[in-house]
Chain A
Amino acid sequence: MLKILKYSFYDLMRSRWSYVYFLFYLALGFVLLFLNNDVSKAVITLMNVIIVLVPLIGTIFGVMYYYDSKEFTELLLAQPLKRSSIFLGQYLGVACSLTLSLVLGLGIPFLLYGLFKSDVIFDFSLLLVTGAFLTLIFTAIAFNIAISNENKIKGFGYAVLAWLFLAVIYDGLFLMSLIIFEEYPLDSFSLAATMLNPIDLSRTLILLKLDISALLGYTGAVFKQFFGTNQGLIIAILMLILWTVLPVWRLVYKSKKKDF
């Protein structure tokens, strides 16, 4: 598996897309810091970018890579190799190179602008951790979609739709249901609904650091317990891990069953 991982990783490095991605984040980081001159404001803007762009790029990249390397995969399948290690290796290769581009691309400008001297270092590292998680999750989702659809157009369509749903439509439905059922106690529901969407989950994780004073304005006891203590942070991170493990598990399961 490690060999395939290494191969996929270097393949991506050679294909320059990783560099483009890396340079994009590098430029973004520098421009944000240059325009804002204030690390804490840049972190807020960056949060918006991370919870929208990172999933999108992870999805598109994952689907693209899977379809692109399909012939190579079939070649590998003919070898005496475990199926799970072929697909896991490819998945990890893509996810790791994307994560690396993200972490380095954003980390370098912030380091140069004196991140260690500012007190937002914890917020920033949390941002990078959620970014990494989102990459892992959405690449896995993309691989899942691709492995289930032979048709490229269909696969792309579903992948984009999945992103659109989780990034925008889900929140819209969520808001509607909160407003329609506003007569009922909703705090458990709204926390549960947040847990069921990785993008909302990462957003909440960052909110716990950035907007804690606003979040504590709400009276519900469940909210208070969740946001007021470290419990919220721990649960959210556990859920993110679960969100990573589940699609990866399905990928392995599906790859064993699939008839190539």
Chain B
Amino acid sequence: MKHLSGLLVFLMLISGHTLSAKTISVCASCSVKSIKSGIEIADAFDTLLIKKGTYKEFNILINKPLTLLGDKFPVIDGEDQGEIIRIASDNVTIDGLFIINVGTSYTSDYAAIRVVKSENFLIQNVVLEKLFFGIYLEKSNNGRVYHNKIIGDAVDEYNSGNGIQLWYSKNVEVDRNIVQGVRDGIYLEFSDNITINNNISTNNLRYGLHFMFSNDDIYTNNTFENNGAGVAVMFSKRIKMVGNTFKKNWGAAAFGMLLKEINDAEIYGNTFEENTIGINIEGSNRIQYKNNNFIKNGWAIKVLGACYTNTFSKNNFLYNSFDISYNSKLNDNVFDQNYWSNYTGYDLDKNGIGDVPYRPVKLFSYIVNRTPETIVLLRSLFMDIIDFSEKVSPVFTPDNLLDANPLMKRTI
């Protein structure tokens, strides 16, 4: 539907305005030498063709529907003065620019490209380097951020910005972007119906992707690797997370994914690999976990209280140091038909389902929660012995926390 409306706008652009629309070239030897003066003389629905070269400009305000088209990636150098491009009009397209040196400020969020209260924008093939905030969407709806590359060099959280930030924006599509080295790769606040697909968010200081108070969003097939704290999904409802990869988020407060106050989400077919904690869950209810792979994590899933009616089914838990960790004796979540690589039971009737239930919470994970230093005793014979005795008769761990139908072979 969104594609269609975009196409319609495009068709209207071509058919309705061909007579009036013209192309203005901007280059060092052209009659128009700066982007600002180009915007000044342009009429609505014109195209500014920016030729290769370096343009030392900032505070460029686009206040009419224009297309800024870069030819062979012209450089716009903000010289650390402040914001570079501000879009304050509907139907603006920015394509193929190389923007560097966004100013850093502690009082205002300078961005390479800021979209303010505008509709139907398209930002694509843009490369951003040495930035504070990258692409900042403010109360702007129905747009698309496609195939951009944002490479930051953030060192400290307090003086760095986010790669792509959405604030009070609806129906935006964020697709095929590469974000690295900023504070939060992609940040959503009060933004509903957002689609985030095929992005690669790596090496960011804080989160690869960060949701706050944003509902009905979908993110699929993204890769989040080696971010300071992984991905955080907080205070949001009805989020769909499908087919993403969360990798190598290591550290004391690092998670593949952090769920906090999330309700009615669907988490399908994701891969969590080599994270300290695969999913850290706090106060999240009615979530469906299905067909996910948890591979070689420290803790595949860590549940920290007040999580009710969650269902974990058909997941693969492979070679995690701890499969599940609980900090309470209460359990209202269902584990059913998962594959656990630590399962030691048998299948006499050969129906593919183990005959003995599997208890994913070990006594040792309970001890480590209490005294973290005991982690050095991981995989020792003594621990195996007490884990075994706890398995036989659970005392410390919730006794109804079990997978009654553990699978014998991993699901795909």
**In the complex the two chains form, is A203's CB within 8 Å of B379's CB?**
yes
Give residues 89-107 of B contacting A (CB, 8 Å): none
Chain B residues with Cβ under 8 A from A199's Cβ?
A: 380
From A167, A169, A212, name the one whose CB has the most chain B CB atoms within 10 angstroms: A212
CB-CB contacts of B250-277 with A at 8 A, as 1s and 0s? 1110100000000000000000001111
Given contacts A200-B377, A207-B378, 8 further A-B contacts (CB under 8 A): A168-B382, A178-B373, A179-B367, A193-B376, A194-B376, A213-B275, A213-B296, A216-B250
Partner of A190, one of B254, B276, B277, B376: B376
Residue of A nearest to B322 (CB): A214
Q: Is A82 an interface residue (CB 8 A)?
A: no
Chain B residues with Cβ under 8 A from A178's Cβ?
A: 371, 373-374
Partner of A171, one of B251, B252, B381: B381
CB-CB contacts of B383-404 with A at 8 A, as 1s and 0s? 1110000000000000000000
A187 to B377, CA, bound (A): 12
Q: What's the least CB distance linking B136 to chain A, in Å?
A: 33
From B254, B297, B380, B384, name the one whose CB has the most chain A CB atoms within 10 angstroms: B380
Taking A167-B381, A216-B252 as contacts, is the C-beta distance between A211 and B321 under 8 angstroms? yes
Chain A residues with Cβ under 8 A from B274's Cβ?
A: 213
Of the 9-residue stretches A19-27, A41-49, A138-146, which lies at the interface with chain B?
A41-49
Chain A residues with Cβ under 8 A from B385's Cβ?
A: 168
Q: Is B375 an interface residue (CB 8 A)?
A: yes
Taking A191-B376, A211-B298 as contacts, is the C-beta distance between A217 and B370 under 8 angstroms? no
A48 to B384, CA, bound (A): 10
Q: Is A51 an interface residue (CB 8 A)?
A: yes
**In the complex the two chains form, is B375's CB within 8 Å of A182's CB?**
no
**In the complex the two chains form, is B341's CB within 8 Å of A218's CB?**
no
Taking A41-B319, A216-B298, A217-B298 as contacts, is the C-beta distance between A171 and B383 under 8 angstroms? yes
Q: What's the least CB distance linking B325 to chain A, in Å?
A: 10
A46 to B256, CA, bound (A): 28
Interface size counted on chain B using CB atoms at 8 A: 33
A186 to B140, CA, bound (A): 52
Q: What's the least CB distance linking A164 to chain B, in Å?
A: 10
A18 to B46, CA, bound (A): 86
Q: Which B residues are within 8 Å of any A CB, using their own CB?
A: 250-252, 254, 274-277, 296-299, 319, 321-322, 341, 367, 370-385
Chain A residues with Cβ under 8 A from B322's Cβ?
A: 214
Residue of A nearest to B384 (CB): A48
A60 to B373, CA, bound (A): 33
Chain B residues with Cβ under 8 A from A190's Cβ?
A: 373-374, 376
Chain A residues with Cβ under 8 A from B378's Cβ?
A: 203, 207, 211, 214-215
Chain B residues with Cβ under 8 A from A217's Cβ?
A: 251-252, 254, 276-277, 298-299, 372, 375
**In the complex the two chains form, is B379's CB within 8 Å of A207's CB?**
yes
CB-CB contacts of A201-228 with B at 8 A, as 1s and 0s? 0011011001111111111100110000
Q: Which A residues are within 8 Å of any B CB, using their own CB?
A: 40-41, 44, 47-48, 51-52, 167-169, 171-172, 174-175, 178-179, 182, 186-187, 189-191, 193-194, 199-200, 203-204, 206-207, 210-220, 223-224
From A174, A178, A199, name the one whose CB has the most chain B CB atoms within 10 angstroms: A178
Chain B residues with Cβ under 8 A from A167's Cβ?
A: 381
What are 7 of the A-B contact pairs (CB < 8 Å)?
A: A171-B381, A179-B374, A186-B371, A207-B379, A212-B250, A213-B274, A217-B372
Partner of A213, one of B250, B373, B379: B250
Chain B residues with Cβ under 8 A from A224's Cβ?
A: 252
**In the complex the two chains form, is A200's CB within 8 Å of B380's CB?**
yes
Q: What's the least CB distance linking B368 to chain A, in Å?
A: 9
From B250, B297, B385, name the one whose CB has the most chain A CB atoms within 10 angstroms: B250
Chain A residues with Cβ under 8 A from B276's Cβ?
A: 213-214, 216-217
SS of A interface (majority):
helix
Q: What's the least CB distance linking A210 to chain B, in Å?
A: 8
Partner of B377, one of A40, A171, A182, A212: A171
A217 to B255, CA, bound (A): 10
**In the complex the two chains form, is B381's CB within 8 Å of A52's CB?**
yes
Taking A213-B275, A220-B373 as contacts, is the C-beta distance between A48 and B298 under 8 angstroms? no
Give 6 closest A-B pairs by Cβ, nearest first: A214-B298, A171-B382, A214-B321, A219-B252, A213-B298, A217-B276
Chain A residues with Cβ under 8 A from B370's Cβ?
A: 179, 182
**In the complex the two chains form, is A48's CB within 8 Å of B379's CB?**
yes
A175 to B378, CA, bound (A): 11
Q: What's the least CB distance linking A126 to chain B, in Å?
A: 14
A48 to B385, CA, bound (A): 12
A214 to B274, CA, bound (A): 9
Chain B residues with Cβ under 8 A from A218's Cβ?
A: 252, 372-373, 375
Q: What's the least CB distance linking A175 to chain B, in Å?
A: 6
Chain B residues with Cβ under 8 A from A215's Cβ?
A: 298, 375, 378
A157 to B374, CA, bound (A): 30
A255 to B51, CA, bound (A): 87
A182 to B297, CA, bound (A): 26
Residue of A nearest to B321 (CB): A214
**In the complex the two chains form, is B375's CB within 8 Å of A214's CB?**
yes
**In the complex the two chains form, is A203's CB within 8 Å of B373's CB?**
no
Partner of A179, one of B250, B251, B296, B371: B371
Chain A residues with Cβ under 8 A from B251's Cβ?
A: 216-217
Chain A residues with Cβ under 8 A from B377's Cβ?
A: 171, 174-175, 200
Taking A47-B379, A48-B384, A219-B252 as contacts, is the C-beta distance between A182 and B371 under 8 angstroms? yes
A204 to B382, CA, bound (A): 14
Chain A residues with Cβ under 8 A from B341's Cβ?
A: 41
Q: What's the least CB distance linking A84 to chain B, in Å?
A: 35
A164 to B297, CA, bound (A): 31
A174 to B375, CA, bound (A): 12
Chain A residues with Cβ under 8 A from B296's Cβ?
A: 213
Residue of A nearest to B256 (CB): A213
Residue of A nearest to B250 (CB): A216
Residue of A nearest to B298 (CB): A214
